[in-house]
Structure 1
Amino acid sequence: MNATAEKYLMLLSKFGPLAEKGSEIVVSTDELALAWYCSTRNAKLITHKLVEEGLISWHSGRGRGHVSKLTFLADKDSLLLVWAQEMARKGDYKQAFELLQRNSYGTALTDRFAHWLNDHFGYQAEATSGVESADTLRFPVYVPIITMDPSQVYCAFDAHMIRQVFDRLVEYDPRTCEIVPSLAHSWESNASATIWTFHLRKGIRFPNGRELQSEDVRFTLERMRGDKAHSWLVRSLKEVQCISARTVRILLNEPNYIFLRFASSAGMSIVPHDLIAADETAYWRQPAGTGPFRISNWTADCCDLVANPDYFQGRAHLDRIVIAFMPAETAQLGEDAPWQQMIRDEELIGLNKVETWNTHEALSHGTSLITWNMGKEGAHQKYGVRKAMELLINRQKMIRELGEDRIYPSRGFRPTKQTPFLEEEMDIEEARRLLRESGYAGEEIVICSKGSLLADADWIQKRCSEFGINIRIRRETTLSVRAPDLLSEIDGILFCVVFAVEEVCEIENYEQAGNFLREHLHPEVREWAMEQVSSTLASDSAQRRRTLLNGIEERLREQSHVLFLTHRKQNAYVHETVKGVGLNQLGWMDFKNIWLENEAASFNVPEDETTMISRS
């Protein structure tokens, strides 16, 4: 239908107001050829096809003085909607929205399409060629997967997806703060934490059938060197030795008593050496690991995952997961559509929970903040200006007015047991004094942000304007915020940090190339912070490590290099038939553990209660 529908839409566009359903126009075959940019012969073939499809009727005028008449039989909006639905069923979600936005006026038709997605998204048992049906979960997100390469990951969503496809030597359990086995069933280190030996499990295989080997570990760590985003994880790597097929020894130049936590981070997910060596470009188009899911299709429109039937930690309950990548602006369309409650996404603003669903809630292990670009000239270079903004922003008021998942004022990277009881440090008069003494005269301060955090940025802009501080908000996207020239053009950036692995993610702020906080630090402060990190890694005392890391945070706060804003909560609204739901440290649900209590329920979820997932 698509080809003929496109030709029909071209006619509608060509003849404008005359091209309504039921209207008749006088038109020659030559004029049709011009409208379709084709030959007269092809125009006749297209016309015949449109007649066969029931889109037009055609009365050919024969002989001199006889005119041809074309009658439009199809309603434009109905045709567009059907076409968009066909695209969605094929997984071409972004193309479907682009089709509607390109050919319709306003958002009414796009809104209708969004509501149609109510029945398309959710938890369904779908027929397969086998005996059993396939439990399939479809849901939308409003940001793309930027990379599935563990060595290059920055975003929490990418890190979560990497954890679905790849495994690590060990895993960090945030509930107990302990390291548990994964690809390695056992490990040991020397007393100085410079030699780590891991023993791999037997029988773990990549999709090509090859068994995991120590060479995969060596290859993974070696390829992280250089200009990779996570090269800092191998900052002191000296050598990787393959002692046997399933024993690997890692030698470090410096002590690292939390190397096991390094090894549990998404950045150190183990990749297959042979598949990447054969054709790295092709491999990253459809990456494959040892994880609970495998990618069967990954395009600009969607990512299709299927369960790994031989996963060494137990097969996933779900058979298939389809993640639809939606245009960011469509998050605001169809505000009453239940599927907007299905997934946690930083781009989605506004959430109306279906009352009959169960609610899962947790405090996010991170914060929103502004980092100041100390490598760029501007009013923000003055301590008095930065400190004044910190003192005049009323975080409690911001939380009350913006609502949603904002819950506590933030005074540091990580919420603590005292966070709910801490009083906000706000002093309007002191802020005014600092502004006067700094000599600030209304110079423009440029702050960039993206997604739902733009609401915070707009609120701060309005608040600061009440005190004569001239803030301009630069609105970015998940992709544009990583543009190479951005740092040289902005004075600050408002973003969120999420700590998935204790201590490691905190150190990442100071060591990861391209990290917003690290890149904004003054070189002297950055060098000092890295010295503190080295001391942290060399300490076998958890208390000492915490003292050192807290010391870095305190200096950043005291010198107002960082403006901490709010801690947020993570929410998951889940239909009562869905089980195994739990929010991980990245704010997402581990797909492997989700299951449907009653298989029949997947066919009978009420139309206004599409099943699941989460938002934070």
Structure 2
Amino acid sequence: MMHNSAEKYLMLLNKWGINAESRAEIEVSADEVASALFCTPRNAKIIIRKLVDEGLISWHPGRGRGNVSRLAFLGDKNELLMNWAQEMARKGEYKQAFELLRSNSDGTMATDRFVHWLNDHFGYQAEHTNGNHSADTLRFPVYMPLLTTDPSRVYCAFDSHVIRQVFDRLVEYDHYTGNILPGLAHAWESNLEATEWTFHLRKGIRFHHGRELRPEDVKFTLERVRDDTPQKWLTRELLRVDCISPRSVRIVLNRPNHIFLRYVGTAGLSILPQELVQADEAAFWHKPIGTGPFRFIQWTQDCCELAANPDYYSGRAHLDRVIIAFMPEETAKLSKGAHWQQLVHNQNQMDQSESDSDRWNKLESLCRGCMMISWNMKKQGPQQAYGFRRAFELMLNRKQLIEDLGEERMYPARGFRPTELTPHMEEESDADEAKRLLAESGYVGEEIILCTYGSNETDARWIERRCAEFGINLKVQTETYFTVRKPRVVPNVDGILFNVIFAVDEVCEIENYEQSGNFLREHLHPRMHQWILEQIDLSLASRDPQFRRRVLDGIEDRLREESHVCFLLHKKQSTFSHPSVKGVGLNSLGWMDFKEIWLQNAQ
């Protein structure tokens, strides 16, 4: 929270300071001060003495009852705001700092100064702890909240990324090679039917509180997910879990699943410490404990702090601390003239007197996913007509959307993933055919509600304007990350504009169709959903990866051909790093792997 003296000073300044020159005295009564501070006259006198002692005001009390006193403001408002905002930022109170500036500054000058000050605040720094030890700290901003640390309830890529820093899985999926790598299990085997999977756990793996990993933790985790959680689809065919030895666990399925290793390599099946979750689940998720490379220190509305796990089984992280600052979403646009949006640098080695921006390394790649609209096929409305949905696609002009809005938007999308052909594909756009289909569909101007959230609102507003040119009465309903999955939202809108990211290729694709609360899944017509589940089971039962790919492509093809979804565009993901910072890369979720980052020539 804001320093109490700062808050009281600003209350007085906002009441009288606008009419007072710096250090010029104004006449006020003690009762008027009390009224401005919303307190009793006695408390007002205590506050006044404190502000005088801190050199913020001068106060000459009037003598006798009813006589006025003289007050002068001694501090420069903008300098004080800047100092107080910086103090809040150092404490991790970023949102309060921006709120302080928004509520008390005139214009944007103070906010702009604060944003540029953040250039020196964010980045990779060697900081001294209370014990005077140097701690390599990475501090960076994000423009979205951390919604959950519970693997069984994760929807967003950012949440999944943080969960992967704190927890481990039985195996790990390498999205670059498509290989399965050992994780908590050093070995595994299955029967020919892929209905029984046995995993052998490593020795000596300990949770952050010190207790060694046991097969019972694996059993508890899978059975917990199988309960009514959004990730229960991962265990849809789970029959039972048997702890067959002190270091081995067998998982038995009702149906074959030849990619089950990819299932157990997802964030949703991160392994939990049984006794801690059962003892106090609410408290556990506020400061979760896993076996991962980082452990939770704190999680507030303003920041999340992680510290390296010194005993991590595959080697300690080079970083000592990671501090993720949750910035107000509207501040993303303020960083355009600053350096601190998605960058990593070493403040201790940067020469502030010389611009070396040309030396910075830029990592850039296409996101493994797309922006899309899911049409609500469970709700009556114009979107039920194929002609309307097809007309909508043809009138969009995705290339114009990309040209107008720019930034990370790269190519029109024809499916979930970009391919080598994506940069060269021609977009389907035909305004005349769109008008003809729209007329044939029987559309007569009914209101269409398109829901979105976060930074997607910019795209939704562009689509709203484009629809108006064709006589489509589309209205944008903006939600937040916290409200978009409320029960009142998904069933009651005609479509949702959102992004999908495929971290584990086939599994993330199936997730769109099976995960409870997933926008696409919740909007599918029951008959379509049942057909898709049958196709998924057919795919999982096959050992042939090419057959599985054809089956899943068949689902995507039908969704596209019947316009159940509207694929919009592919985005790029990027980050910048100073040459002194090594190991920076983007993982399949589009985030930096904290464990691999290190500082060259660190002291």
Superposition TM-score tier, normalisation by shorter sequence? over 0.9
- Distance in 2, matches of 1:20 and 1:193, equals 80
Q: Counterparts in 2 of 1:496-575, with a 5 A limit? A: 496-575=499-578
Give the unaligned 5+ runs of structure 1.
344-352, 601-616
* Whole-Å separation in 1 of the counterparts to 2:360 and 2:199: 44
Residue 332 (structure 1) aligns with: 333
Offset of residue 342 of structure 1: 2.3
Residue 295 of structure 2 aligns to which amino acid in structure 1?
Answer: R
CA contact (8 A) 1:218 1:240 kept: yes
Map residues 474-489 of structure 1 onto 2, 5 A cutoff: 474-489=477-492
- Alignment of 1:466 with 2:469, yes or no, is yes
1:432 aligned residue: 435
1:185–1:201 CA contact under 8 A, matched in 2: yes
Contact 2:17–2:73, Cα closer than 8 Å, also in 1: no
Higher mean C-alpha displacement, 221-230 vs 325-334: 325-334
Partner residue of 1:290? 291
Quick check: 1:111–1:334 contact (8 Å CA) kept in 2? no
What is residue 412 of structure 1 aligned with on the other side? 415
Aligned to 1:610: none
- The 3 A distance-change label for structure 1 pair 415 and 67 is closer
Conserved? CA contact 1:338–1:354, under 8 Å: no
Letter in 2 for 1:31: E
C-alpha distance in 2 between matches for 1:54 and 1:31: 21
The answer to whether the aligner puts 1:221 opposite 2:227 as a matched pair is no
Match of 2:272 in 1: 271
2: CA distance, partners of 1:459 / 1:47: 52
Distance across 1 between alignment mates of 2:65 and 2:311? 74
Single out whichever of 382-391 and 17-26 deviates more from structure 2: 17-26
Match of 1:593? 596
Q: Structure 1 residues 61-70 or 312-321, which shifts more?
A: 61-70
Shift in Å, 1:40: 2.9
Which residue pairs with 2:192 in the alignment? Answer: 191
Q: Any idea what the Cα deviations from partners look like across 1:114-141, whole Å, max 9, x if unmatched?
A: 1111111111111134574111111111
Deviation at 1:359, TM superposition (A): 1.3
Q: Are the counterparts in 2 of residues 87 and 96 from structure 1 also a CA contact under 8 Å?
A: yes
Q: Does the 8 Å contact 1:20/1:75 carry over to 2?
A: no
Match of 1:599, SS? coil
Residue 158 of structure 1, CA deviation: 0.2
Shift of 1:325: 0.7
Which residue of the partner structure matches residue 400 of structure 1? 403
Q: Bigger CA drift: 24-33 or 270-279? A: 24-33
Q: Which moved more, 1:353-362 or 1:571-580?
A: 353-362
| Pick aligned residue for 1:494 from 470, 492, 497 | 497
AA aligned to 2:99 is: E
Amino acid across the alignment from 2:207: F
Aligned residues: 591
SS in 2 for 1:136: strand
Q: Aligned partners of 1:46 and 1:430: how far apart in 2?
A: 72
SS of residue in 1 equivalent to 2:252: strand
Question: What's the Cα RMSD here?
Answer: 1.8
Q: How far apart in 1 are the matches of 2:341 and 2:591?
A: 15
Write the distance in 2 (CA, Å) between the matches of 1:372 and 1:456: 16
8 Å CA contact 1:112, 1:334 repeated in 2: no
- Give distance in 2, aligned partners of 1:457 and 1:40: 53
Question: CA contact under 8 A between 1:411 and 1:565: conserved in structure 2?
Answer: yes
Answer yes or no: is the 8 Å Cα contact 2:491–2:523 preserved in 1: no
Establish whether residue 89 from structure 1 lines up as the match of residue 100 from structure 2.
no
- Please state whether the residue corresponding to 1:305 is helix, strand or coil: strand
What amino acid is aligned across from residue 79 of structure 1 in structure 2? Answer: L
* Secondary structure of residue in 1 paired with 2:399: helix
CA distance in 2, matches of 1:453, 1:41: 52
Please report how far the alpha carbon of residue 539 of structure 1 lies from its aligned counterpart in structure 2 after TM superposition. Answer: 1.2
Q: CA offsets, 1:6-48, max 9 Å, x none?
A: 2212212333533553121222333323332333333222221
Any idea what SS the aligned residue of 2:155 has? coil
State the alpha-carbon separation in 1 of the partners of residues 35 and 458 from structure 2.
48
Look up the match of 1:13.
14
Do the aligned partners of residues 310 and 34 (structure 1) sit closer, same or farther apart at CA in structure 2, a change above 3 Å counting? Answer: same
Structure 2 alignment gaps of length 5 or more: 345-355
Match of 1:612 in 2: none
In structure 2, how many angstroms separate the alpha carbons of the residues matched to 1:226 and 1:402?
Answer: 43
Paired AA for residue 445 in structure 1: I
Pairing 1:599-614 to 2, within 5 Å after superposition: 599=602
Query: What's the CA shift for 1:74?
Result: 1.4
Cα 1:42/1:454, change in 2 over 3 Å: closer
Aligned counterpart, 1:125: 126
**1:517 counterpart SS class:** helix
Cα deviation 1:280-326 (Å, max 9, x = unaligned): 11111101110010111111110001100111111111111111111
Query: Which residue of the partner structure matches residue 608 of structure 1?
Result: none
- What's the CA shift string for 1:181-232, capped at 9, x where partnerless? 0000000011111111000001110111100110110010011123201000
Instruction: Give the Cα–Cα distance (whole angstroms) in 2 for the partners of residues 239 and 123 of structure 1.
Output: 46
Taking the aligned partners of 1:384 and 1:563, their CA distance within structure 2 comes to 13
| Kept after mapping to 2: 8 A contact 1:11/1:19 | no
1:108-187 equivalence runs, <5 A: 108-130=109-131, 132-187=133-188
Tell me what 2:581 maps to. Answer: 578
Structure-to-structure mapping, 1:306-455, within 5 angstroms:
306-342=307-343, 354-455=357-458
- For 1:103, the equivalent position in structure 2 comes to 104
Q: What is the Cα deviation at residue 64 of structure 1?
A: 6.5
Deviation at 1:66, TM superposition (A): 5.3
Aligned equivalents of 1:367, 1:188: Cα separation in 2? 35
Task: Tell me the distance in 2 between the aligned counterparts of 1:334 and 1:319.
Answer: 27
Equivalent pair of 2:141/2:342 in contact (CA under 8 Å): no
In the aligned structure 2, how far is the partner of 1:116 from the partner of 1:35?
32
Assess, with a 3 A threshold, how the Cα gap between structure 1 residues 289 and 62 changes in structure 2: closer, same or farther.
same
Q: Write the distance in 2 (CA, Å) between the matches of 1:63 and 1:154.
A: 66
Q: Deviations over 1:72-116 (max 9, x none)?
A: 111222222211111111111111111222223333322221111
Greater mean alpha carbon deviation, residues 231-240 or residues 459-468: 459-468
CA distance in 1, matches of 2:493, 2:98: 32
Cα pair distance change 1:555/1:73, threshold 3 Å? same
SS for the counterpart of 2:588 is coil
Q: What CA distance in whole angstroms lies between the structure 2 residues aligned with 1:31 and 1:464?
A: 56
Asked if the contact 1:215/1:245 (under 8 Å) is kept, the reply is no
**CA 1:59/1:256 → structure 2, altered by over 3 Å: closer, same or farther?**
same
Task: Flag the 1:35–1:501 CA change in 2: closer, same or farther, 3 A.
Answer: same
Aligned partner of residue 137 in structure 2, secondary structure: strand
Q: Which moved more, 1:534-543 or 1:330-339?
A: 330-339
Instruction: Report if aligned partners of 2:137, 2:321 keep a CA contact under 8 Å in 1.
Output: yes
